[in-house]
Chains A and B, each alone.
Chain A
Amino acid sequence: MDKLTDYRYTMKSCNSCGQCRFILGPMMKGWEYAEICPIHLRYRWDACSGQGLINIAQELLDGELDYEDGLIEHIYTCTTCGACDINCKSVRDMEVMDTILALRARCVEDGRGPLPPHQEQARYIEAHHNIFGEPHEERSDWLQEGIKLSEKADVAYFAGCATAYKHPDIARNTVRILNAGGLDFQVLHDEYCCGAPLWRTGQVEAARKLAEHNTEVFRENGIRTVVTACAECYGTFRGFYPRIAPPDFEVVHISEVVQRMLRADRLKLKGKLDIKVTYHDPCLLGRLSEPYVPWHGEIKSFGYHEPPKTWRRGTHGVYESPREVLKAIPGLELVEMTRHAENAFCCGGGGGVPAAFPDFALWTAAERLDEAKSTGANAVVSACPWCESAFQNAIDADKSTLQYHDFTGLVVRALEL
């Protein structure tokens, strides 16, 4: 597992250029919605940004900064959305997100982090294998009669904690879509939390155990492909699991599955939905979803990486699949927000922020909804149960007329299932 010291080069290279706070030049649209870092937009200090966090990491590492009052809270306000990382990497060979995650891991290692709500989540996961402390036996309760499962299939649908316990509709819709498209799959009753909440809060050793468990379950059941409708699970399988061991399974998001099925004429979207929507790219499905490729080498003169490194710059995130499917729904009009694809603004639902700083999470979601409204859309669509919770909380708090739809819900309606 990578250590904070692995990111010395990143820390040393930063020149405070500020790109980690602003939308990328090619995507510029105007004064509004030009900022992409939630903590910087809210608090404005340089310290509240990718740059600030890596500066703090460097001083901690060098013993120039102590774990003073407020530091741990500061480090954990970041939503780990990775907008800073992708923006920095559009111009630099630096690992901003991984440095922030390694900084959190270091805080945990030093016995200073995470914050109490994250510790509580870890205890729940340890005892019940899900973040909410719900009984493990109820993990598959969302499964309804009439769903065709194939015990021998080498494809598994992985629901994830948030879907299984809080948004069972997403799970039900997903399996109905898979059935409609004629894909044989299993539901694994011994799936555990994917590990995202632990990984993103620096509790990497506990996250490792979950990764090992799930990988073993996949292996035992002959699973070669894991389908998920949760962006956090998707990004964790691709971004975290390869740090433990080379994965022997492929991960696909339900939007990619539907896209393939539509292209192969295995599904037909017939139902007309008169609706104008804007699509929110979840961070771990979009810019942070490229597979992690371990790199061990040396950074030489002029920053040359020997051997060459495979960079995750957010180029190949899952951006087109959900859009292609949504556009194929009769009557549905898709409009884009200024900050979209790799430039999407976070919903506030990640990085352990909702548990530790619910007001800030709400503020972040409200900022995103404001942008969604500015497009003239009457609904925001996304493809992650965590985004759903974040947005629904903000909609309820604001009594907004804007609606939220999960991607799978719209597809099921258009399939007239």
Chain B
Amino acid sequence: MEKVMSLPKEVYQALLKVVGPENIADRPHILAALRHTNPQSGRQPPSPAAVIMPGSVEEVREIVRICNRHGVRYNAVVSMFGMGGVVSQPGMLVISLRRMNRIIEINEFDRYAVIEPAVRQVQLKAEVFKRGLTYPTASAGPSCSVLANFLTSGDHHTQQSSSRCSRYLLGYEWVTPTGEIVRVGSLAHGAGWFCPDGPGPSLRGLVRGYGGWGGGLGIVTRIAIGLDDWKGPRVLTTQGHSPDYKIPFPPDCHRVFIFKFPTLEKVRDAMTEMGKAEIGQAVLKFFYATEAVLFTVSANDFRDLWNSGLYQRELPRALWVYLAAWTPEELAYEERVMRDIVEEFGGEPVDASITRKYEENMDFFILVSFLQRVLKLGGGWSPTKLGADSIHHMFEVAAAIPEFFYDFIEKGRILDAPHNFQVIPMEYGHAAHIELLFFFDNQRPDWQQIPAEVMQKSMESDIRHGFHAATPPRVKAVMERLGPLYSNFQVWTNKIKETFDPNNVSNPGPG
């Protein structure tokens, strides 16, 4: 680690005045947790100069203004589960929003919740369940910030019947990169939180964009998110002790099915038909190596399951369906429709032991409590693609994966798992999301290159074929290459960034 670059004394003192001595620190041991090497990429981030914890939007504004005055680069953070790393340049100020953790309002009538940045999935989900409500919940783990996820990411398992989290973002309160407090959507004209767009262009799209907050445009201090009705139990009936929990839902209204199909085209067509028929709380073609990692406790348990070959036999061309209904009759109707579709495309049930895992762990569909298990093979885990387009296009993209992916498998650099991608339809199939997840052995000497190489090859495949399959990261070179596929979005996002952040202090990226 290079030496910690500190903030000039007068800047530190000015910041300290805003939050008090308890809420700012620059001692190296306090900063150690913010520069830890990420086992997913092997990248050791540079050390920040200091970390500060504001307690209110006014404090955030003051901090941002000081940063602008003194050219101090900053980034906001909540739990650090985000994949991009917090500190991109040495000497940055980390603005940790941990103290801003209140649920401001849950409006059951208009069905929205207003939250601060540090409210976690595990907190909000339980609160809205109690009220018979729910919201799209990314499979990003119980401890991640709802707000950060809605800003940066937001694909999840039940988007067949809902959508990406970003589409549920309503009004929000925003401290711009230069330190103005802006209230967006209906909030701006005093009409409450219910709507993200006021009259005129949608500022939500302007500052968030498809790729989320990677653009680094200030700090969002409150958001409202839309809520849906919840067909499941208001309180979880969890049985057992860690790590062997069982969370079944009432079986007369909640059921899980997994069918295997002869080809990927049949999977695609069955998925499309289920969307047309508007059935299924969740419908997905899931990554089965990930599933094997999720549903086993230790790395050794995973190895035993994987070596049995069961998942490789049953799951490369499978479709997962979770039906949730208000009444047993409604469930029976959806099941009949589903079975007709499955029969039409030659699907048949997979080994019952696989389905049972989901029946016993219904939290998979609401908040994957055991999500971080994907990292248990030493942490060598990474996703690529992560884009969205039509279901058909996503399967075209999937069909081209072997072109670049099998080489990594054959050379033993990643775990052997053909067709190990996921496609999740959203809004009953109006669009779909694709993700290619892979496990690599980070005990290998060349492990740090593997994720970057896979991503590079994936991008080249997209460019070669003209695929829309990536969420372009805020890395200049990548944006320049992928830009032409997406109407040169980078020209626009760069202009927006320059306009709103003339000093380039807000989440500046690696430079």
A residues near B, CB below 8 A? 9, 12-19, 21-31, 34, 44-47, 49, 51-52, 55-56, 58-59, 62, 64-66, 68-71, 74, 86-87, 89-93, 299-305, 308-309, 311, 313-317, 319, 341-343
Contacts and interface: CB of A to CB of B under 8 A. Distances in A.
A23 B122 contact: yes
A304 B303 contact: yes
26 contacts: A12-B378, A15-B38, A16-B36, A17-B141, A18-B144, A21-B143, A22-B143, A23-B142, A26-B236, A26-B242, A26-B247, A28-B236, A31-B103, A44-B99, A47-B29, A47-B31, A69-B27, A74-B29, A299-B378, A302-B439, A305-B298, A309-B300, A311-B298, A314-B241, A314-B242, A319-B241
B272 interface: no
Q: Is the interface of B mostly helix, strand, loop or mixed?
A: loop
B377 interface: yes
A25 B369 contact: yes
Contacts of A301: 441, 443-444
A14 B27 contact: no
B80 interface: yes
A304 B241 contact: no
Contacts, number: 209
B238 A26 contact: yes
B241 A56 contact: no
B81 to A, nearest CB: 5
A301 B373 CA distance: 16
B53 interface: yes
Contact of A24 (B1, B25, B242, B368): B242
A56 to B, nearest CB: 5
Interface of B: 1, 23, 25, 27-34, 36-40, 51, 53, 79-81, 96, 98-99, 103, 119-120, 122-127, 130, 141-144, 235-236, 238, 241-245, 247, 297-300, 302-303, 363, 367-373, 375-380, 415, 439, 441, 443-444
Contact of B32 (A34, A47, A313): A47
B299 A93 contact: yes
B141 A302 contact: no
B51 A45 contact: yes
A13 B25 CA distance: 26
A44 B123 CA distance: 17
Nearest to B374: A91
B29 A56 contact: yes
> Chain A at the B interface: mostly helix, strand, loop or mixed?
loop
A303 B297 CA distance: 12
A25 B142 contact: yes
Question: Most chain-B CB neighbours within 10 Å: which of A18, A91, A313?
Answer: A91
Given A45-B51, A302-B441, A52 B33 contact: yes
Closest 3 CB pairs of A and B: A25-B369, A46-B33, A18-B143
A315 B441 contact: no
A17 B139 CA distance: 13
B303 to A, nearest CB: 6
A304 B439 CA distance: 14
A87 B370 CA distance: 10
A341 B245 CA distance: 13
A64 B1 CA distance: 6
The listed residue with most A CB atoms (<10 A of its CB), out of B53, B376, B415, is B376
B36 A26 contact: no
Given A302-B299, A302-B303, 7 more contacts: A23-B122, A25-B368, A45-B25, A299-B443, A302-B302, A305-B300, A315-B243
Nearest to B361: A26
A342 B379 contact: no
Contacts of B363: 25-26
A28 B241 contact: no
A23 B30 CA distance: 23
A52 B80 CA distance: 12
A13 B375 contact: yes
Nearest to A21: B143
B415 A302 contact: yes
A33 to B, nearest CB: 10
Given A28-B125, A93-B299, A15 B40 contact: yes
A55 B300 contact: no
A86 B303 CA distance: 22
Given A16-B80, A25-B363, A55 B236 contact: no
Given A27-B238, A34-B122, A44-B53, A302 B81 contact: no
A24 B299 contact: no
Contacts of A65: 28-29, 32
B143 A17 contact: yes
B144 to A, nearest CB: 7
A19 B141 contact: yes
Contacts of A64: 1
Contact of A19 (B31, B98, B142): B142
A18 B80 CA distance: 8
Most chain B beta-carbon contacts within 10 A, residue among A71, A92, A300, A343: A92
Contact of B119 (A31, A92, A343): A31
Residue from A27, A58, A66, A303 with most neighbouring chain B CB atoms (10 Å): A303
Contacts of B297: 311, 313
B242 A313 contact: yes
Nearest to A12: B39
A343 B369 CA distance: 14
Nearest to B302: A302
Contacts of A305: 298-300
Given A15-B39, A59-B1, A46 B142 contact: no
Contacts of B124: 31
A19 B141 CA distance: 8
A91 to B, nearest CB: 4
Contacts of A25: 122, 142, 363, 367-370
Given A12-B39, A308-B300, A342-B241, A90 B370 contact: yes
Nearest to B301: A308
A112 B439 CA distance: 41
Nearest to B99: A44
B372 A26 contact: no
Contacts of A19: 141-143, 372
A55 B36 contact: yes
Given A13-B39, A25-B363, A91-B370, A302 B27 contact: no
A45 B243 contact: no
A308 B230 CA distance: 42
Contacts of B33: 16, 45-47, 49, 51-52, 55-56
A68 B28 contact: yes
Given A26-B236, A90-B370, A305-B300, A17 B81 contact: yes
Contacts of B241: 314-317, 319, 341-342
Nearest to B306: A302
Nearest to A69: B27
Nearest to A58: B36
Contacts of B377: 302-303
A44 B373 CA distance: 25
A13 B36 CA distance: 10
Contacts of B120: 22, 34
B216 to A, nearest CB: 19
Contacts of B368: 25
A32 to B, nearest CB: 8
B373 A92 contact: yes
A71 B31 CA distance: 12
Nearest to B103: A31
Contacts of B443: 299-302
Given A15-B38, A45-B33, A86-B242, A30 B127 contact: yes
Contacts of B126: 28-31
Contacts of A17: 79, 81, 141, 143-144, 372, 375
Nearest to B94: A46
A14 B236 CA distance: 29
Given A17-B143, A58-B36, A31 B242 contact: no
A165 B51 CA distance: 45
A33 B465 CA distance: 51
A26 B369 contact: yes
